[in-house]
């Protein structure tokens, strides 16, 4: 399985999904019954800085293509802003689309804040109060629809709240779901905990629910991944096969897969205790385009896999130009990497 992920074909320059006036991020792709491919992604206007502009203005959108590699054509805003009084009323981000027993399930991060809407020319920085408030308001949510074109029904509350005294007391975000045939669910998520009035470093936990729309509970009082547990990762993508959980994720320090910000591969029987797979690297930031040029991408995040007949067909990732670092990017888009 993992060898197929490493066996990447050249990336089509004209494939994937991009929008001229928007930062584009967070690809999650599914195939419908007619054979078309639907990408759920995040976007926010480029008059804002990439970071932290996503925290105040991101919205989940849908784009379609006839081939998994794209190019994908924008269709609609799926989860627009709906008012500060809603827990997800100001921004939606991190979509993960899955097929459920009774329709389609869209897991995402929701954000709210009480500040006025930002306008072109306004400034926004990580020391801004708006950044701190929006970061602390991040929660994992769920929307459901009978078709990929909707209508989407959002739940009134997050499916995973924060909890005082735990490793997820500050925020929950970046959902990585697995929905089983009986309707139960496993959910890996990003978290931070309060340390006084500030937030900890990034942690990764897991939760389960008897029903995908029901109450989720953490499987452990400790995070699964973090500085003191296994290693520091971000953006997990999880699936089940042969009775095991499988995961690819961004290796934040390069100590797990051997490449800084490369992709690691790990396996678990229960979703709690994980071990590196063989080989341990799932993907690399060193890519080849279909015009023959090679490049080590400065940013490659939010990786996900499209499966066809049980086999990985395409690896999707959010990428940016520049040598690395959000502040060095002039554009971002979602690439589609064919897998041999």
Domain ranges for the chain:
2-338
Span of 8-12, 35-39, 254-258 with lowest mean pLDDT: 8-12
Which tens digits make up the pLDDT trace of 131-166?
A: 999 999 999 999 999 999 999 999 999 999 999 999
Give the tens place of pLDDT for each residue, 80-105: 999 999 999 999 999 999 999 989 99
User: What is the DSSP track for 254-283?
Assistant: STTTSSTT-EEEEEESSSSS-EEEEEEEEE
Categorize the per-residue pLDDT at 126 as very low, low, confident or very high, splitting at 50, 70 and 90. Answer: confident
Q: Identify whether 102 is preceded by a cis peptide bond (ω within 30 of 0).
A: no
Residue 210: CA count within 13 A, CB half-sphere = 1
d(CA 68, CA 338): 8
What CATH number has the domain spanning 2-338?
2.115.10.20
pLDDT digits over 167-196, tens only? Answer: 999 999 999 999 999 999 999 999 999 999
**What integer pLDDT is reported at residue 3 of this predicted model?**
53
| Mean pLDDT of the region 10-26 | 97
User: DSSP strand E in 91-197: where?
Assistant: 91-100, 103-111, 139-145, 153-154, 171-179, 185-192, 194-195
CB neighbourhood size of 269 (10 A)? 11
- Say how many C-beta atoms besides its own lie within 10 A of residue 229's C-beta: 16
Which burial class, exposed, middle or buried, applies to 195 when counting CB atoms under 10 A from its CB (0-12, 13-18, 19+)?
A: exposed
Distance between CA atoms of residues 15 and 10, nearest Å: 11
Average pLDDT rounded to a whole number, residues 233-246: 96
Tell me what the pLDDT averaged over the chain comes to.
Answer: 95
Give the model's pLDDT for residue 5: 65
Average pLDDT over residues 34-50: 97
- CA–CA distance, 61 with 93 (Å, rounded to integer): 10
Residue 135 dihedral angles phi and psi, to the nearest 5°: -60, -45
Q: How far apart are CA 54 and CA 108, in angstroms?
A: 13
pLDDT reading at 18 higher than 60: yes
């Amino acid at each position: 399985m993992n060898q197929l992920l490493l066996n990447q074909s050249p990336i089509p320059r004209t494939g994937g999904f991009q929008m001229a006036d928007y930062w584009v991020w967070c690809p999650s792709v599914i195939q419908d019954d007619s054979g078309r491919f639907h990408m759920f992604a995040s976007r926010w206007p480029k008059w804002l800085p990439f970071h932290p502009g996503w925290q105040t203005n991101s919205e989940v959108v849908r784009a379609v293509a006839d081939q998994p590699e794209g190019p994908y054509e924008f269709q609609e805003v799926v989860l627009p802003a709906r008012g500060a009084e809603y827990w997800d009323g100001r921004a939606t981000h991190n979509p993960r689309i899955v097929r459920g027993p009774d329709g389609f399930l869209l897991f995402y991060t929701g954000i709210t804040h009480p500040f006025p809407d930002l306008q072109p020319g306004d400034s926004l920085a990580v020391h801004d109060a708006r950044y701190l408030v929006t970061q602390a308001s991040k929660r994992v949510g769920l929307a459901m629809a009978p078709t990929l074109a909707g209508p989407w029904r959002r739940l009134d509350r997050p499916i995973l709240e924060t909890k005082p005294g735990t490793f997820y007391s500050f925020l929950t975000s970046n959902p990585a779901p697995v929905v089983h045939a009986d309707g139960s669910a496993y959910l890996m998520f990003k978290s931070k905990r309060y340390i006084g009035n500030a937030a900890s470093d990034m942690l990764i936990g897991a939760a389960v629910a008897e029903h995908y729309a029901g109450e989720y509970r953490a499987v452990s009082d400790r995070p699964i991944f973090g500085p003191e547990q296994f290693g520091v990762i971000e953006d997990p993508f999880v699936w089940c096969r042969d009775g095991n959980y499988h995961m690819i994720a961004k290796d934040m320090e390069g100590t797990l897969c051997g490449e800084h910000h490369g992709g690691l591969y790990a396996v678990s029987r229960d979703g709690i205790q994980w071990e590196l797979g063989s080989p341990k690297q799932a993907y690399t930031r060193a890519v080849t385009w279909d015009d023959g040029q090679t490049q080590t991408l400065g940013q490659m995040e939010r990786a996900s896999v499209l499966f066809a007949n049980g086999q990985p067909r395409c690896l999707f990732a959010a990428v940016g130009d520049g040598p690395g670092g959000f502040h060095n990017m002039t554009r971002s888009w979602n690439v589609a990497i064919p897998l041999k």
